Amino acid sequence: MACPSCDLLYDVAGLRDGEKASCSRCGDFLTRMRSDGFIKLQSYAIAGLVSLMIGCAFPFLSFKSSGLESVMTLPQMVIQLYEQGRPDLAFLVAAFIIALPAAVLVLLLVLSTCIIRQRYYAWMVPVTRLVFHMQSWSMVEVFFIGVLVSLVKIGHMATVVIGLSFWGYGAFSVLFIFAIASLDRLQYWNELDRLAGLQHAG
């Protein structure tokens, strides 16, 4: 394989389970061999989707100030932005913090399940490329960090009650990062090529 940063070529075929390869020229990470990588990917995807459902189903935050209380869920936040004349912002929030990350995890779950079952389908190649493109547009961790920063400022003006959805989405953010990190591109493409070769040979 070629280093993604400096294009220096390496033979990484001899890696054993648990070993990783880095570029000797620029130090960039190349690949890591994991025998249970696809099982971990499947587990993170399932747990992440469950956490996202919790994050969307229950109150996210509630604010109390001067005897008034406001309770907000993630879907309600999108609806309120739309009703307040900000359909563009509502679309961006819904797409990049809910819909797109959820679609990435669903596709990762489908792909990892096919590989674990040693099944190859022609649609797996374009879907994989789509996932690699989509994951760079997901703003899960950016949104959650932004919420944490906002809580510090809002806490001086009102009483903030953190709901179950907040912790659910927080868990979703961590699991989403773990799922993306466990997807080694080289090992994935190698396994996909192997399954394709077995199917053609059969």
Query: Residue 193 has what pLDDT?
Result: 87
Quick one: DSSP state of residue 27?
A: -
d(CA 2, CA 16): 19
Residue 108 has pLDDT above 80, yes or no: yes
For the beta carbon of residue 41, count every other beta carbon within 10 angstroms: 27
The phi, psi pair for 145, rounded to 5°, reads -65, -40
The structure tokens 């190859």 sit at 120
| CATH of the domain spanning 36-201 | 1.20.140
Residue 107 has pLDDT above 90, yes or no: yes
Query: Residue 44 has what pLDDT?
Result: 95
- Residues 120 and 192: beta-carbon distance below 8 Å: yes
Query: Residue 31 has what pLDDT?
Result: 75
Mean pLDDT of 167-182: 91
Query: Residue 67 has what pLDDT?
Result: 61
d(CA 67, CA 100): 37
For the chain, where do the domains classified as CATH 1.20.140 start and end? 36-201
**Interval 2-60: pLDDT, tens:** 776 787 777 777 767 767 777 777 877 677 777 778 899 999 999 999 999 998 888 88
- More confident position, 140 or 68: 140
Query: Residue 146 has what pLDDT?
Result: 82
Mean pLDDT of 120-129: 91
**Interval 51-86: pLDDT, tens:** 999 988 888 877 666 666 667 788 888 888 888 888
Query: Residue 184 has what pLDDT?
Result: 82
Mean pLDDT taken over the chain? 83
